[in-house]
Amino acid sequence: MTPVAPSGRGPALEAVFQPVQTPTTFEETVERLGTAIRLGVLPPGTRLPPERELAEELRISRSTLRQALTTLVQSGHLVSLRGRTGGTFVADEPPLARETQDPPLGDEARAVLDYRVVVETGAIMVAAERAEERDLDALERLTEDMTLTHGGSFEVYRRADVRFHIGLAEACHSPWLVVAMTEVQGQMSDLIQRVSHPNEVLSHSNAQHRRLVALLRRRDTARAVRLMREHCQGTEHILAALMPD
């Protein structure tokens, strides 16, 4: 690989390295860098700034940055090289630079994501009021199942993930909410199967699942709804970053 050093930063490149200031710092960092790679703002061979410098520019922690970079290495967008001339580089052939027959994240996908937010946040609100201990215990077991699948089959993880979200609706003791959640999870699966599934993303997502269960046990509706909104936003950022054009 021949490193490419951008000759000065134009407005587009400056935008890539603006501070990240949202609750979903990990996912937005993945989206920011992934989108820049997809659009060619960061062309193949580009060497990213050193980790400490980049974390300071984005105003995020080095651990969050490391998670985001690891995600993009796992998905094939970046490569990490060791040694005196090493560093983190945009891959010579990042996945999103190749031709694909999949449609982009457009109006239909946006409608699915909006529908998901309404169903998921609504379910959390009702579950915080109605969930019984056995419901919460079942959700906690599903987070353990997802932890055990780390580094293994995504299909196994996804089945437990779907069961978790449907379990939230079941914890509301509302058959209609279960129907709605089942529908939206089916639609989300159609989107999710079109992107890669780096382990860092799955671990981060499941950590949020565990926090949701803890908040439901405390009947902390406001924080649970806020966290679910962040959880949904995180998925949107990852899809925007990794879904093919």
pLDDT of the residue at 93: 86
195 and 79 in a common domain: no
Q: What CATH number should be reported for the domain holding residue 92?
A: 1.10.10.10
Looking at the structure, tell me whether residues 232 and 170 fall in a common domain: yes
For residue 201, is it within any domain?
A: yes
The pLDDT value given to residue 42: 86
Residue ranges for the chain with pLDDT beneath 50: 97-104
Question: In terms of domains, do 141 and 212 share one?
Answer: yes
Indicate whether 90 and 117 sit together in one domain: no
Angle subtended at Cα 34 by Cα 79 and Cα 91, rounded to the nearest 5 degrees:
25
The per-residue pLDDT for 69 is 93
| 64 and 152 belong to one structural domain | no
- Listed residues 97, 123, 153: the one ending a domain: 97
Is 2 contained in some domain?
no
- Residue 60 falls within a domain, yes or no? yes
What is the domain extent for residue 112? 107-242
Same domain, 150 and 70: no
Q: Could you tell me if 74 and 192 lie in one domain?
A: no
Residue 133 lies in a domain: yes
Is residue 158 in some structural domain?
yes
Tokens of 112: 């699915």
Total residue length of the chain: 245
Residue at which a domain ends, from 43, 78, 97: 97
Q: Which tens digit of pLDDT belongs to each residue from 183-218?
A: 999 889 888 887 778 888 899 999 999 999 999 999
77 and 131 share a domain? no
Q: Are residues 82 and 112 in the same domain?
A: no
- Statement to judge: residues 82 and 137 lie in one domain: no
Find, among 148, 165, 151, 139, the residue nearest to 197 by Cα.
Answer: 151
Predicted local distance difference test score (pLDDT) of residue 101: 43
Q: Are residues 143 and 74 in the same domain?
A: no
Q: Say if 6 falls within a structural domain.
A: no
Is residue 81 situated within a structural domain?
yes
In a domain, 4, yes or no: no
Q: What is the pLDDT of residue 151?
A: 66
Judgement on whether residues 71 and 151 belong to the same structural domain of the protein: no
Name the domain count of the chain.
2
DSSP, collapsed to helix, strand or coil, labels residue 5 as coil
DSSP letter string, 61-76: -HHHHHHHHHHHHHTT
What's the CATH number where 114 sits?
1.20.120.530
SS3 (DSSP) at 81: strand
97, 128, 154 - which closes a domain: 97
Distance, in Å, from the CA atom of 181 to the CA atom of 198, rounded to the nearest integer, reads: 25
